[in-house]
Amino acid sequence: MARTINFNPGPATLPLPALERAQRELLDIEGSGMSIIEHSHRGKIFEAIHNEALELTRELLAVPKGYSVLFLQGGASQQFAVVPMNLLKPGQSADFLVTGVWAKSALKEAKIVGTARAAATTEVDGKFVRVPKQSELELDPNAAYVHITTNNTIFGTQWHTLPDVGRVPLIADMSSDIMWRPLDVAKFGLIYAGAQKNLGPSGLVVVIVKDELVDAGRSDIPTIFQYRTHRDTNSLYHTPPTFSIYLYRNVLLEMKRAGGLGAVEKLNRAKAELLYQAIDARPDLYRAPVEKASRSTMNIVFNLPTEELEKEFLKSAEQAGMVGLKGHRSVGGVRVSIYNAAPIAWVESLVAFMAEFKRTT
């Protein structure tokens, strides 16, 4: 079976062994005569997978003591609301570093819940081509928290050095770059990510949160939205997305087998470097709008001289078996999403295609 070269921005390609295992086990898991999808979330078979998935998260990210891992639903978008519902109290204000469309959405939702402000924005004419420098941040030392989006999926920018936010808790939307490399979790108050890019299928949101923040969170909001509800029930307060968690477990096992996040980072850097070299090698044809220091290793965006050429590029690439390259509908251009599971051979194919496209000599 030929696998399509899939550069989708999310849901995105997943490691083949993780899918093949799901295929083998789909109708009968562990000789139970039932699919994992048909098992109770309170039964032994699912519970073991659930706990293994939580444990693998802790292991791969070296989550320190004093932090909990939660499995939630509602996408990263729900966290835009749930973070301020829990952590932004009356009389407090939260700071947002606005670096793209998703960061803006997070700020907008927080403003519905309480007081929130942009402590920096790099928006120029509706576009973002970099993340801000430390000197540009107008941080409120009394803020309840500072929110960042570590990788901006649409504009293809990424924070390579975390902002210094002093003693204020740092909250990060890592939906499009969680586990792309090892991480010092202790630098964060809370991390959240929709699973559907680096980690697995959609339907699961992974939250890593400092227990102090959970304990101090509001308790006058609906039970289902309180982090403590999920922390105190091992993320089994209600029916979790069992199949998503099962596949997430399979994906994390593959990352572990590949050598952990250090090995994952090496490969991700090599893939991104190959692509940026291919863009920079033909300045007549390709232009990366993002400033070099802010270039993403996960979503690589570039333009061609005209929209017609971009259309032709996308069409020819598709004919050559490569899909998912169209830039986000709000910005156009080309976007190559090379999450953890995209093999370097796919990037090599694309780079070869880019080198030959419209070559006249």
The residues annotated with a catalytic role in the active site are 102, 173, 197
75 or 343: whose CB is closer to ligand PMP?
75
Q: Rule CB under 6 A: say whether 13 interacts with ligand PMP.
A: no
- Smallest separation (angstroms) from ligand PMP to the CB of 189: 17
Residue 92 near residue 115, CB atoms below 8 Å:
yes
Closest-CA residue to 163 (of 179, 145, 176): 145
The helix/strand/coil state of 287 is strand
Q: Which residues 22-51 are close enough to bind ligand PMP by CB under 6 A?
A: none
Quote the tokens at residue 240. Answer: 């979790």
Nearest CB to ligand PMP, comparing residues 189 and 194: 194
10, 132, 156, 169: residue in contact with ligand PMP (rule CB under 6 A): 10
Binding test (CB under 6 A) with ligand PMP, winner from 57, 153, 157, 303: 153
For residue 77, state whether it binds ligand PMP (rule: CB under 6 A). Answer: yes
The reply on whether position 173 binds ligand PMP by CB under 6 A is yes
- Tell whether residue 149 is a contact of ligand PMP (CB under 6 A): yes
Interface residue with ligand PMP, options 15, 156, 194, 240 (CB under 6 A)? 194
CB-based closest residue to ligand PMP: 75
Q: Which is nearer to ligand PMP, 167 or 329 (CB)?
A: 329
Beta carbons of 51 and 189 less than 8 angstroms apart: no
% helix, strand, coil for the chain, step of 5? 40, 15, 45
Cβ atoms of 94 and 143 closer than 8 Å: yes
- CB nearer to ligand PMP: give 10 or 189: 10
What the block records as the tokens of 140 is: 């409120």
Residue 102 or 243 having the CB closest to ligand PMP: 102
Residue from 12, 70, 76, 170 in contact with ligand PMP (CB under 6 A): 76
**Between 77 and 234, whose beta carbon lies closer to ligand PMP?**
77
Residue 235 is given by DSSP the state: T
Of 168-176, 218-226, 281-289, 343-351, the window that binds ligand PMP (rule: CB under 6 A) is: 168-176
* Closest among 344, 292, 290 to 153, alpha carbons compared: 290
Q: In the numeric block, which tokens belong to residue 23?
A: 């295929």
CA distance 271 to 258: 16
The answer to whether 248 touches 199, Cβ cutoff 8 Å, is yes
Q: Which of residues 88-117 bind ligand PMP (CB under 6 A)?
A: 102
Q: Does 242 bind ligand PMP (CB under 6 A)?
A: no
Q: Would you give the DSSP letter of residue 58?
A: H
Q: Which of these segments, 17-25, 73-81, 263-271, 310-318, binds ligand PMP (CB under 6 A)?
A: 73-81
Token readout for 73 is: 């639903």
Helical (H) or strand (E) element with 205: strand 205-210
198 sits near ligand PMP (criterion: CB under 6 A): no
Under DSSP, the state recorded for 200 is S
Locate 287 and state its tokens.
Answer: 């232009």
Contact residues: ligand PMP, CB under 6 A: 10, 75-77, 102, 149, 153, 173, 175-176, 194
